[in-house]
Amino acid sequence: YRNNSLEEYPLHLACQNGQIEVVGRLLQEFSPVTLEHDMNRWSPLHHAAWHGHHRIVELLLRSKRFSVNAVDNSHMSPLHLAALGGQSEVVRILLDCPDINVHAKNKDGKTALDFCQQNPNRDWQLCTELIEKFLQKPLEKIKICLADGSTIELDLVSGPAETTVRQLHAQMMTRLRLPDEVSNVFGIWICSKSVRIQLNPDHKPVQFLLNWKRYASELTTIPNESSLRNPSVSSSPTLNSNSEEAQLWWSRDTLLKIEFEQRLRIPHVIHLLFLEAYQNYLLAFYPCTDEDAIEFAVLMMGINEKQLDDKLWEHFFHNDSNNLSLLIPAEKLKRAGVVYWRRTILKRYKEVFMDDTTMQNRPQLSLYLKMQFLNLAQNLTSYGSSFFTGEHEYRGRRTSVFICVNDVGVHLINRITKLQEYSFSYQQMTFTIETEAQSTLEINVKDNKNVNRKRSSNSTNSTHNKNFKNSIFSFSSLSNKQSNKIDRPLTSSPASLSSTLTNSLNNNNEFQQRSYNRHILYTKQNFLIYHLMSNFAQEHGSFI
């Protein structure tokens, strides 16, 4: 199949020549040179498989240093080569590997089965029988959670170690019977108690699940209770890894554009987006006014009651005051009190549903109300955010916050009060990243005026929903932290002394202003946050 010199690759050469003792010795030496792929990206396993040295194949696999699914320049795996060469014993050994990807295709789109099926000779037909028998085995499964509480089991089509998010996403689209034009609406996320991360299409989710406790520990700083109540107390860097059991979720894609989402009309898509928005609203990830909260509550009541009846809801509220927590975020409920919310919500409910016959007679009322709920949520600045945890320092004060990043900007929600403390658009700020003993992300804003909770004062269908009243300054991201050094004048002649003093005072004021407008985020997730912010900033056309 190939005749290239392997003098610089002693392990590869020994595998090609069937020198099992030499292979064993070289593996013990563990020299980096012996483990590299050769000039055609063949690993030692490729050579042993192609030449039919099955005992060497077993030895290499036992060493656990070589991927059974490694591919060369033509995307040929060891299984491809063994099937092409009719090496049935090697095929048998490779198929026993739990991570084997029997569905892998080379650059021409051919699988290992395609190669051996083409040859009528006995050895190749034996390879065909082995692979076909393997394909009859039931595939291992993996569960994906949905916002409605259901789960869907998907096939690990390329084995546990090699199945990608892209493959699972395609299966989800098929299982949910969703058209290709909405393939960008949902992504696959890995979530635990403290961390939520959207996986990339090429990520291998089983590997993330197996290593998740380590990842979660590396990505999370959990403030202890005393630091939450007293921000001067430093956060604990430790994480209770036993509580970080991860699951895969089918959730809204963090890069989904609001304008596209508002055009969606597929009922099941609307339903899942609504449930996700409802859950985030109750968790206070969507800070809003009391008036908005009343609208959200009334919409939920209409969605959950097939037969509209204010008496039923009145009984529901009086029967158990905790029932209001299904409609109002806990901190809001605590601040205004049960009596206020019960009275105000019921009054608004009657206005919307009982006094308006057009609403009662509207076709597909539940779908319509879910769309109205989403429309209201989409108008809030933090809608569609990815949520991270960390600490925010500003003017010497440090608080524990949720860091919300979306297409609008960065929004900081106090983890205790659940109030939105700061919100800055990409046009308003620059940001830098530092990796020292404690990872930090620094945000510098031209002014400290908060962005409105609303994306726009106009209709949410406006194409300008992402702009803010205060977002008037261009964005620039700095790859290195800028120096605060004030340049001295080159001369100090009497004629320029007055000017020098004036410039010095101005520079000092500018320095103080920069410090005044500097916000520092302490979080182990700073690289994820920075990457996401950079993606959104580029969409605004001002990222450099």
Q: Is the pLDDT of residue 319 over 90?
A: no
- pLDDT, residue 75, reads 94
User: Is pLDDT at 207 greater than 70 in this prediction?
Assistant: yes
In sequence order, the β-bridge partners of residue 440 are: 434, 522
What fold is seen in the domain 386-539?
Answer: PH-domain like (2.30.29)
Confidence of residue 488 (pLDDT cuts 50, 70, 90): very low
pLDDT at position 6, please? 66
Q: Which is higher by pLDDT, 224 or 132?
A: 132
Higher pLDDT among residues 29 and 492, named by residue? 29
pLDDT at residue 296 in the model: 98
Average pLDDT for 185-213: 93
Confidence of residue 477 (pLDDT cuts 50, 70, 90): very low
For residues 372 and 297, the answer to whether their CB atoms sit within 8 Å is no
- Which of 314-323, 368-377, 437-446, 491-500 is least confident? 491-500
Q: Quick one: pLDDT band at residue 4, thresholds 50, 70, 90?
A: low
Q: Which of 502, 238, 274 is nearest to 373 (CA)?
A: 274
User: Rounded CA gap, 518 and 484, in Å?
Assistant: 12
Distances (CA, A) of 222 to 166, 226, 528: 32, 11, 17
Query: For residue range 529-542, what is the model confidence (pLDDT) as tens digits?
Result: 999 999 998 877 65
pLDDT digits (tens, 9 = 90+) for 118-131: 899 999 999 999 99
Whether the pLDDT of residue 489 is over 70: the answer is no
Q: Kindly report which listed range (360-369, 385-394, 462-471) carries the lowest average pLDDT score.
A: 462-471
Question: If you average pLDDT over residues 165-184, what whole number do you get?
Answer: 97
Architecture of the domain whose range is 10-135: Alpha Horseshoe (1.25)
Confidence check: pLDDT of 468 > 50: no
Q: Any residues with CB less than 8 A from the CB of 29 and at least 6 apart, and which?
A: none
pLDDT above 70 coverage of the chain, percent: 78
**Burial of residue 17, with CB atoms counted within 10 A of its CB: 0-12 exposed, 13-18 middle, 19 or more buried:** middle
Task: Give the pLDDT of residue 99.
Answer: 83
Using DSSP's 3-state secondary structure scheme, residue 64 falls into coil
Q: Can you read off the two tokens belonging to residue 169?
A: 């996403």
What pLDDT sits at residue 360?
72
Of the candidate ranges 52-56, 176-180, 521-525, the one whose mean pLDDT is the lowest: 521-525
Integer Cα distance of 300 and 326 in angstroms: 9
DSSP-assigned letters across all residues of 256-314 = --HHHHTT---HHHHHHHHHHHHHHHHTT-S---HHHHHHHHHHHHHHH-SS--HHHHH
> What are the residue ranges spanned by the domains of the chain?
10-135, 138-256, 288-379, 386-539
Average pLDDT over every residue of 327-337: 93
Reduced to 3 states, what is the DSSP secondary structure of residue 188? Answer: strand
Confidence (pLDDT) at 5:
63
**Structural tokens at position 71:** 């591919």
User: If you average pLDDT over residues 371-400, what whole number do you get?
Assistant: 95
**Backbone φ, ψ for residue 359 (5° rounding):** -70, -40
Those residues with Cβ within 8 angstroms of residue 170's Cβ, 6 or more apart along the chain or in another chain = none
Alpha-carbon distance of 250 to 147, in angstroms, equals: 8
For 265-277, write each residue's pLDDT tens digit. Answer: 999 999 999 999 9
Q: 72-100, pLDDT tens digit by residue?
A: 999 999 999 999 999 999 999 999 998 88
Mean pLDDT, the chain, whole residue set: 82
Q: In whole angstroms, what is the distance from residue 189 CA to residue 173 CA?
A: 15
Q: Describe the strand order of the beta sheet including 386-394 as a list of residue ranges.
A: 420-425, 409-414, 397-405, 386-394, 518-522, 440-445, 429-434
- The highest-level CATH class for domain 138-256 is alpha beta
% of the chain residues with pLDDT over 90: 58
What is the mean predicted confidence (pLDDT) over 456-466? 38
Asked whether the predicted pLDDT for residue 260 surpasses 60, the reply is yes
Q: In this structure, are residues 254 and 187 in contact, taking their beta carbons and an 8 Å threshold?
A: yes
Structure tokens at 34: 């012996």
Q: Is the pLDDT of residue 220 over 90?
A: no
Query: pLDDT tier at 32 (50, 70, 90 boundaries)?
Result: low
For residue 194, the model assigns a pLDDT of 82
Tokens of 449: 């005026």
pLDDT over 70 (residue 3): no
Check whether 226 has a pLDDT greater than 70. no
Predicted confidence (pLDDT) at residue 242 exceeds the cutoff of 50: yes
Q: In this model, does residue 448 exceed pLDDT 90?
A: no
Residue with more model confidence, 307 or 53 = 53
Residue 518 predicted with pLDDT over 80: yes
CA atoms of 108 and 84, how far apart (whole Å): 14
Is pLDDT of 290 > 60?
yes
Q: Does position 415 have pLDDT exceeding 70, yes or no?
A: yes
Q: How confident is the model at residue 498 (pLDDT cuts 50, 70, 90)?
A: very low
Q: Confirm if 78 and 110 have CB atoms less than 8 A apart.
A: no
Output b/e per residue, 111-125; b: 16+ Cβ within 10 A: bbbbbbbebeeebbe
Range 407-442 burial, b when 16+ CB lie within 10 A, else e: bbbbbbbbbeebebbbbbbbbbbbbbbeeeeebbbb
Tell me which amino acid residue 324 is: L
